[in-house]
């Protein structure tokens, strides 16, 4: 499999599946390996953090960017998604009104890459469908949702609305993430 196919496969993963499984490699077919060499060849952006011996590979898709973080020796560490969405007719981070009107006019029920996760209300509906409980952490102008998979969804308050700006894939256990978020929330509040 070439690197272009790897980028296409990553782009085909629904963000709903990603937040449920926790890591991009768990969403890909078993025979697909994400390696630094493969993804670097098709990256839209590559950044190196020499001090920490990390390399971050970014792939741009419609409305979001996927970041894959490796140690410079090629060891895969974690992944995340930066949401800069264009949903509905507005450019930039979508408003809840844009998302709701897009959901109403689409043929599906919020199964696009961003729709189901874009608003707090929609992610709560997803949790109900999955029959799971979400944990929320308030951090000033940010609300963070901890999923059972250890994925976190980061919403910023902008113009009196909560907007999804980042999805951080599982890197530590749910208990470790919960403890870290609690410490941050306690310090901020």
Predicted confidence pLDDT, tens digits, the chain (189 residues):
554 688 999 999 988 899 999 999 999 999 898 999 999 999 999 999 999 999 999 999 988 999 999 999 999 999 999 998 644 333 333 333 333 333 333 333 333 456 778 888 888 888 898 888 899 999 988 999 999 999 999 999 877 788 899 999 999 999 999 999 999 999 988
pTM beyond 0.85, yes or no: no
72/52 Cα distance (integer angstroms): 9
Q: Check residue 69 and give left, alpha or beta (phi > 0: left; psi -120 to 50: alpha).
A: beta
Task: Identify the pLDDT of residue 109.
Answer: 33
86/71 Cα distance (integer angstroms): 32
H helix or E strand, kind and range, residue 163: strand 161-168
152/44 Cα distance (integer angstroms): 24
Task: Identify the pLDDT of residue 4.
Answer: 60
82-100 b/e (C-beta count within 10 Å ≥ 16 → b): bbebebbeeeebbbbebbb
């Amino acid at each position: 499999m070439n690197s272009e196919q790897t980028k296409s496969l990553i782009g085909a993963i629904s963000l709903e599946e990603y937040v449920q499984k926790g890591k991009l490699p768990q969403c890909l077919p078993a025979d697909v390996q994400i390696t630094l060499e493969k993804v670097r060849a098709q990256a839209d952006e590559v950044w190196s953090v020499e001090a920490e011996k990390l390399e971050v590979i970014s792939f741009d898709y419609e409305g979001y960017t996927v970041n894959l973080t490796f140690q410079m020796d090629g060891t895969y560490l974690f992944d995340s998604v930066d949401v800069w969405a264009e949903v509905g007719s507005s450019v930039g981070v979508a408003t809840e009104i844009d998302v709701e009107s897009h959901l109403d006019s689409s043929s599906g029920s919020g199964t696009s890459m961003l729709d189901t996760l874009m608003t707090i209300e929609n992610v709560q509906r997803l949790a109900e469908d999955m029959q799971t409980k979400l944990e929320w952490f308030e951090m000033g102008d940010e609300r963070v949702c901890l999923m059972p998979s250890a994925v976190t969804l980061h919403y910023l308050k902008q113009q009196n609305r909560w907007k999804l700006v980042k999805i951080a894939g599982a890197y530590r256990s749910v208990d470790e993430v919960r403890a870290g978020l609690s410490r941050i929330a306690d310090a901020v509040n």
